[in-house]
Structure 1
Amino acid sequence: MSDAAFHAADPTQRVVGSIAFAAVARVVLIAAKVKSDDGDDRRIFARSKSNIGPDEGGFEYRLGQAEPLPGIRASYDGWSEPVAGSARDLLTDPSAPAISKLAQRKPPKTF
């Protein structure tokens, strides 16, 4: 999958570059880092697919480092506010240009 197609694809198709594994699952959860131009990156945990309930919404979270005991470093996650919207909307940078399917096609070859 090309880089442009990867970023334009439905988040469920990003699991391994195809719909094969995600199609079998009842629920697909996506954890991603959404980069922004101002350097204030967000981390999102969202439902990308669900055929047993709602498939929208998620949570923002942050990762941090702590030293619970001297010499022992550990990672932790801090959950923030719930976010509304589809996984595609939450993971897409609104300032990024949309890539149409026609723009992704290769020009025809002449024989």
Structure 2
Amino acid sequence: MNLFDYSIDVSHMVCFPSLKSLCHTQVDLFDKEYLPLLLANCPALEDLTLERYHDDNIGAVSINVPSLKALSIHIESGCSSDGVEIVAPSLTYINLEDRSNKHLLIENMLKLEVAIH
């Protein structure tokens, strides 16, 4: 059950300088610039959960968060994902469930301790 239904205008993005944990589920993504802008405005983010479903058609997922320590991604098979790119040098935990069978690019994860696929 969703407690909130909302949309965010990326041209008026807000900054969350102290946000440590973000659970981004059941959000309709209509603009490919939305997620990178949101993540760029969360400089202290350490824990991210991201879910993409079949009606999400923004293409590739790009996660570039230097402070990120834990990442969980769920991508449904009907999602029109063009793949996932992850740049997170502080990452120690990743749980990736990608049913779209697209490409995965992971860079600079020297501290990774746990990976679940």
- With the shorter chain as reference, the TM-score category is under 0.3
More helix by share: 1
Larger strand fraction of residues: 1
Structure with bigger gyration radius: 1
* TM superposition score normalised by structure 1: 0.26
